[in-house]
Amino acid sequence: MKQLWAAALVAAIALCAGGEEPKKIVLIAGAVSHGPGEHEHRAGCLLLKSCLDKVDGVTAVVHTNGWPKDPASAFADAATVVIYSDGEGGHPFLQGERLQTIRALMDKGGGLVCIHYAVEPTKEKGEKEFLDWMGACFEQNWSVNPTWTPEFKSLPQHPITRGISQVKLNDEWYFHMRFREGMQGVTPILSAVPPEQTMRRGDGPHEGNPAVRESVKNGELQHVAWACERSNGGRGFGFTGGHFHKNWGNDDFRNLVLNAILWTAKTEVPAAGVQSQVRPEQLKENLDPK
- Tell me: the pLDDT tens digits for 38-53? 999 999 999 999 999 9
> Does residue 6 carry a pLDDT above 80?
no
Mean per-residue pLDDT for 69-80? 96
Count of C-beta atoms within a 10 Å radius of residue 162: 19
> Residue length, the chain?
290
Cβ neighbours for 32, distance < 8 A, ≥ 6 positions apart? 41, 288, 289, 290
Average model confidence (pLDDT) across the chain: 93
Confidence of residue 85 (pLDDT cuts 50, 70, 90): very high
Task: Write down the pLDDT at residue 20.
Answer: 79
Task: Write down the pLDDT at residue 9.
Answer: 45
Q: How far is CA 44 from CA 28, 73, 175, in A?
A: 10, 23, 22
> Does residue 96 carry a pLDDT above 80?
yes
Dihedral angle of Cα 79, 82, 88, 89, to the nearest 10 degrees: -80
Count of C-beta atoms within a 10 Å radius of residue 276: 18
Confidence of residue 30 (pLDDT cuts 50, 70, 90): very high
Confidence of residue 19 (pLDDT cuts 50, 70, 90): low
> Does residue 195 carry a pLDDT above 80?
yes
Task: Write down the pLDDT at residue 290.
Answer: 87
Cβ neighbours for 270, distance < 8 A, ≥ 6 positions apart? 162, 163
Q: How far is CA 157 from CA 140, 187, 189, in A?
A: 31, 10, 9
Backbone φ and ψ for 125, nearest 5 degrees, come out as -140, 115
Q: pLDDT digit string (tens) for 255-276?
A: 999 999 999 999 999 999 999 9
pTM: 0.92
| Bridge pairing between strands 178-179 and 136-137 | antiparallel
> Does residue 225 carry a pLDDT above 90?
yes
Backbone φ and ψ for 253, nearest 5 degrees, come out as -60, -50
Task: Write down the pLDDT at residue 283.
Answer: 97
3-state SS assignment for residue 179? strand
Q: How far is CA 194 from CA 115, 177, 191, in A?
A: 20, 13, 9
Share of the chain above pLDDT 70, in %: 93
Domains and CATH numbers, the chain: 22-284 (3.40.50.880)
Confidence of residue 13 (pLDDT cuts 50, 70, 90): very low
| Bridge pairing between strands 23-29 and 178-179 | unpaired
